[in-house]
């Protein structure tokens, strides 16, 4: 495979941008609304426990439930291993349903954005060197696309603050409402080849790897994002996926296949 992508598609949260601070704050506010309406500030150390557990969360409704689990005495190891059982059990025990919890999370975030967009945007950090590497790729003729489940307008504003202005059409956010492998299929059909995709969620890469017509798309797991050692190990063992470190990413695409 050529050492340079014609098109480089990147996930946003967990690849380009670290949104953990915003994520915890939103989760905490939603948790308080649902479980402890009289509380305001989170207890010391809670955020620090939440951050490394972030990879277990796949959907918004799980955010306050993860905090509920920590407040209910679940251990970190138990959560990492058994979250897919713990989350629905805890939700049912609390007599809540997913849609209600998800709506609470969305409501918290929407109100925050409406009340103080600048404050909300400022809770996001860029991983060191990533935007610079993207700018270099763009300069050397690679077409960049963002493929994310965050809303495109926020991605555009965040990138612009970091000094990278991408055309609206190259930011495919939550609003496109389709699985990432479908987006890759569209990019493969009409963008410069080869197509490479960097993502931090193993499952999204596995789904892409299962598409017969996407076998020539190079798939990279960003080990600096929201994934755990087991995910990284699986990517490393796979003959279809490639594990990428931030250091290797920064060195340029000729190094990415190891
Ligand atoms: Mg991600």
pLDDT band at 230 (very low <50, low <70, confident <90, very high): very high
Distance 199 CA to ligand 1 centre (A): 6
Whether 188 has a pLDDT exceeding 90, the answer reads yes
pLDDT band at 2 (very low <50, low <70, confident <90, very high): low
Distance 201 CA to ligand 1 centre (A): 6
Q: Quick one: pLDDT at residue 43?
A: 96
Q: Do 163 and 151 share a structural domain?
A: yes
Distance 257 CA to ligand 1 centre (A): 21
Q: Do 96 and 147 share a structural domain?
A: no
Residue where one domain finishes, among candidates 121, 150, 165: 121
Distance 209 CA to ligand 1 centre (A): 17
Q: Do 140 and 102 share a structural domain?
A: no
Q: Do 225 and 192 share a structural domain?
A: yes
Q: Quick one: pLDDT at residue 181?
A: 98
Residue 86 covered by a domain: yes
Report the number of distinct structural domains present in the chain: 2
Residue 1 covered by a domain: no
Q: Quick one: pLDDT at residue 214?
A: 98
Cβ neighbours, 10 Å, residue 36: 13
CATH number at residue 229: 3.40.50.1000
Residue-wise pLDDT for 9-62, tens only, equals: 999 999 999 999 999 999 999 999 999 999 999 999 999 999 999 999 989 999
CA distances from 19 to 7, 42, 148, 150, 207 (A): 25, 18, 13, 11, 24
Distance 15 CA to ligand 1 centre (A): 6
Mean pLDDT confidence for 74-100: 97
Q: Quick one: pLDDT at residue 117?
A: 96
CA distances from 193 to 67, 172, 184, 252 (A): 43, 18, 12, 17
Distance 10 CA to ligand 1 centre (A): 9
Domain containing 53 equals 20-121
Distance 88 CA to ligand 1 centre (A): 22
């Amino acid at each position: 495979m050529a050492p340079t992508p014609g098109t480089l598609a990147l996930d946003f949260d967990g690849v380009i941008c670290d949104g953990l601070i915003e994520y915890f704050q939103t989760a905490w506010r939603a948790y308080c609304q649902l479980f402890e309406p009289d509380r305001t500030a989170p207890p010391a150390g809670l955020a620090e426990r939440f951050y490394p557990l972030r990879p277990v969360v796949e959907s918004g409704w799980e955010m306050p439930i993860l905090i509920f689990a920590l407040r209910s005495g679940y251990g970190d190891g138990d959560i990492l291993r058994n979250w897919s059982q713990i989350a629905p059990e805890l939700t049912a025990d609390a007599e809540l349903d997913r849609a209600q919890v998800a709506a609470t999370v969305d409501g918290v975030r929407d109100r925050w954005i409406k009340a103080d967009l600048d404050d909300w945007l400022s809770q996001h950090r860029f991983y060191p060197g990533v935007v610079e590497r993207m700018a270099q790729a763009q300069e050397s003729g690679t077409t960049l696309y963002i493929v994310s489940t965050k809303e495109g307008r926020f991605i555009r504003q965040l990138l612009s603050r970091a000094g990278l202005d991408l055309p609206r059409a190259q930011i495919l956010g939550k609003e496109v409402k389709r699985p990432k492998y479908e987006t890759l299929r569209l990019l493969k059909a009409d963008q410069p080849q080869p197509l490479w995709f960097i993502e931090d969620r193993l499952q999204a890469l596995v789904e892409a790897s299962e598409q017969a017509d996407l076998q020539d798309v190079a798939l990279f797991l960003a080990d600096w994002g929201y994934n755990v050692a087991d995910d990284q190990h699986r990517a490393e063992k796979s003959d279809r996926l490639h594990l990428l470190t931030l250091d290797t990413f920064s060195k340029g695409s000729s190094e990415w296949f190891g």
